Amino acid sequence: MRNRVMIVVATAALIVGLWLTAIPVAAQAPAAGFPAYRAPRAADGHPDLNGIWQALTTANFDVQDHEARPGLHPELEGAYDAQHAGQGIVEGGVIPYRPEMLAKKKQNFDTRAKANPPHGEEPPMGDPELKCWMPGVPRATYMPFPFQIVQTPDFILMTYEFNGTSRIIRMNWKEEAPVDSFMGWNRGHWEGETLVVDVTGFNDQTWFDRAGDFHSDALHVVERFTAVSPYHLQYEATIEDPKVFTRPWKISLPLYRRVEKNVQVMEFKCVPFVEELLYGSLVKK
């Protein structure tokens, strides 16, 4: 009987000891709140991020917290074009604009639907998404469209459903951007389980959202893609632009793997939909 009691006591002590030992391990989980995860390996030994991914967020409306708003023409479209409320993806909740730049953001929002033709005498007006321009980085990632990652050891292709946009991430390159562009000059490297993409060489023609949040041609974005489960990537982007913001700021959100049978990135070439908007006034009646 005494031996049985000692065995029970010893077993209980072992269980308690293992439980107490596990507490520090749980505390070492990544800051984003996800447990440690090791993704399947690609042929080169790095995490395999191949697949079709999509954000489930309202950040394309506004990267900061926002309430529901009517659309541009509620008298015609009712709730069809309405903006629903959503939680922001900006860490800390506020974009650190230079005070003199806030007026530009307000002007962008007020004129978001007053598009004018590109290369005209007037500066561009209207949301670039409205005009079917390439959405830029990081906006392409959290628009309400899927995108696909195709991974090789030397290059990673990201292709987006919106307007057939794509970008090539050159792994371990040192060359600087040869020219400014909508999607920037993308150079990548691996930090353990994380794909880090350093993006420079932007023009100033894209926005972060429909709320008019904007940047200059001095924009610098550092993205981090980390697999946190077979079905999720944690996405983070640090945004720096000394012409517009007082300090760097950061966004973060999960990306979800599309797992439907035969899922694929479809075609959404929106240029024909905006020809009347941009050039209708130039057509002889």
45 found inside a domain: no
46 found inside a domain: no
The pLDDT of residue 80 is 93
The pLDDT of residue 29 is 37
Residues 18, 108 within the same domain: no
Give the domain extent around 18.
1-30
- Average pLDDT taken over every residue of the chain: 88
Distances (CA, A) of 101 to 104, 110, 172: 5, 15, 35
Residues 270, 213 within the same domain: yes
Where is pLDDT greater, at 123 or 253?
A: 253
pLDDT at 51 over 80: yes
pLDDT at 118 over 80: no
Rounded-to-5 percentages of helix, strand, coil across the chain? 20, 30, 50
Residues 16, 87 within the same domain: no
C-alpha to C-alpha distance for 210 and 112, rounded to whole angstroms: 7
The pLDDT of residue 123 is 75
Closest CA to 251 of 142, 127, 100: 142
pLDDT at 16 over 60: no
35 found inside a domain: no
pLDDT at 43 over 50: yes
Mean pLDDT for the stretch of residues 58-74: 95
Residue 124 pLDDT class (50, 70, 90 cuts)? confident
Residues 4, 113 within the same domain: no
Total structural domains within the chain:
2
Residues 25, 73 within the same domain: no
Residues 4, 95 within the same domain: no
The pLDDT of residue 120 is 63
Mean pLDDT for the stretch of residues 22-26: 35
Lowest mean pLDDT among 34-38, 190-194, 248-252: 34-38
Dihedral (CA of 268, 63, 184, 244) sign: positive
212 found inside a domain: yes
